[in-house]
Amino acid sequence: MRLELAEIVVKGLNWKRIGAWCGIIAGVQFVIITFTIMLFYPEGYSFLENSFSSLGLSVTRGIDTPQNWFMFATATTLAGALSIPFWLSIRTVFTETTPLKALSWIGTILGVVAGPLLAGVGIFAGDVYPAQHGFSTIYFFLLFSSAIIIYSIAILLNKDYKNVYSLIGIIVAIICYTYVLVPGFGNAAMQKLAVYSLVLYSAFQGYRLLKVF
């Protein structure tokens, strides 16, 4: 009985499953923390008008808001850190052929590099470090979206993975590319759609990986 229990515990602590859970937790905690900041935003937060980065300002509308910065930095840092084991675990699903191995490695490298950039989005408050904040934001979007595109192609080549996961990934990437690269789409509403699409993608894929592992 004890041996069986130990085997169950070991199986539950499999690093691949941990990586899948990290993807889920990354998305969920990000949504919870950022929505919490919105609830206590000085003079109210407009989902359609206020930028996403304004959640992490050190001074908001003339009011010192170090707590906002801290919570926002926590959300982005946790999401960025937890995304790394997620990308490492999803890579192990695509090893059947040489093309799949190559695609999975490229996608994982792009995703892993994007993790610290996401952390930088929150750590570098836009009102204190505008250049670093802007750099982290743009390249996080581009790298994370590119990782999703690469894995969307890998999913299409993997007969055991449903194509709907590829379609969702492509839609998410298009939204983010549009926000970053197409003039006129850099408004607050589009920004939030892009941000939440990216972080929830890892949660969505993490749930799928739990079934695989």
Dump pLDDT digits (tens) for 82-114.
999 999 999 999 999 999 999 999 999 999 999
Give me 71's structure tokens.
């919570």
Q: Which residue has the tokens 């990354």?
A: 26
- Contact residues for 50 (Cβ-Cβ < 8 A; gap 6+): 41, 188
Give me 195's structure tokens.
């941000």
Q: CA 200 to CA 83: how far, in whole Å?
A: 11
Provide the whole-model pTM. 0.89
Domain ranges of the chain: 2-212
Residue 63, class by beta-carbon neighbours within 10 Å (0-12 exposed, 13-18 middle, 19+ buried)? exposed
pLDDT at 7 over 50: no
Model confidence pLDDT, tens digit, residues 22-79 = 999 999 999 999 999 999 999 899 988 899 999 999 999 999 999 999 999 999 999 9
Percent of the chain with pLDDT over 70: 94
Quick one: pLDDT band at residue 13, thresholds 50, 70, 90?
A: low
Q: CA 5 to CA 59: how far, in whole Å?
A: 52
Q: Which amino acid is at 57?
A: L
